[in-house]
Structure formats: C-alpha cells, structure tokens
Amino acid sequence: MSAAEIDEYLDRLDEPKRSTLSRLRRDILAVIPDAEQCISYAVPGFKVAGKTIAGFAAFKNHLSYLPHSGSVFPELAEELAGYRKSSGALRFPVDQPLPPEQVEKLIAVRLRQAFPQMPGDKLGVRARLRLPSAGEPRAT
C-alpha cells in the first residue's frame, strides 16, 4: 500500500473531483506529513502509528471526508452544521474543497481519540505532530 495507489485512485476520477480530492490529500498531509498513505476499504486512507486517521472517497454526486471514527463529528457539530453527514462520512460538493483549517480540526479530534494515552505518549505521536495535551488549544 502506498502513495502510488492513491495516485491511481485519483487518476481514475474526472474533474473537478480529481483536483478537489488532490487538494484534500495535500491538506491532510500538511497536518500529518508522516502518515502512511494507503487504500483502506477500497478508498484512500492515511495512517499514523498503524491507525487510520483520515480518508476520502468520490461518489457520483458528492465527495466524502472519512474520519474512520463515528465519534469525530459530534465534537465539531456546530462547525459542521452546514454539511450533510452520517456517523462515518462528511459529504461535500465535488467542486468545493473542505477548508484546510476544517481538515486540521477533524484530524486533531481523531488523533486525540485514536491516541488517548497522550500525554505519556509512548509512541511519540503527540510530539512529532506538535499536538497539545488534552484541554490545551493547538497553537497556530
């Protein structure tokens, strides 16, 4: 599994889906640059320390951001009020990328959930990603 597989996934898409999801990929990697890129459940995914933290998918009439957790969206309910969503997918238009700051917040929530042992982080994930401890705001 590799970045090449995500390249192939994106290459099969028509515009504007391809460019919108390419931008989302760049935004995800800007937040978690050392993430392992993979295909998970037949769609692109991004893993940190073996846990899938983010992903995306293209559909006929929309695109989806996939947090790989059903408990991410409730934490950001007010900010995500304008989007259609299920517990596992945030839908957005094929020609309107998610704002990068929204992607960062989605990933930050998922990372806190995926690695609850932080602080005292044996994997060093919090330090590598410059994440705040629980309750601390993230510096921008």
- CA-based nearest residue to 36, from 47, 50, 24: 47
43-92 pLDDT, tens digit each: 999 999 999 999 999 999 999 999 999 999 999 999 999 999 998 999 99
103-123 pLDDT, tens digit each: 999 999 999 999 886 555 444
Predicted confidence band of residue 128 (pLDDT cuts 50, 70, 90): low
Q: Is the peptide bond before 137 cis (omega within 30 degrees of 0)?
A: no
2-55 pLDDT, tens digit each: 899 999 999 999 999 999 999 999 999 999 999 999 998 899 999 999 999 999
| The residue to which tokens 């320390």 are assigned | 49
The residue extents of the domains of the chain are 3-128
Predicted confidence band of residue 132 (pLDDT cuts 50, 70, 90): very low
User: What is 3-128's CATH topology?
Assistant: Aspartate Aminotransferase, domain 1 (3.90.1150)
Sheet architecture: strand order including 90-92: 36-40, 43-48, 51-58, 63-66, 90-92
Write down the pTM of the prediction: 0.84
Give the tokens for residue 24.
């989302």
Beta pairing partners, 101: none
Main-chain phi, psi angles of 57, to 5 degrees: -155, 155
pLDDT in the model for residue 116: 83
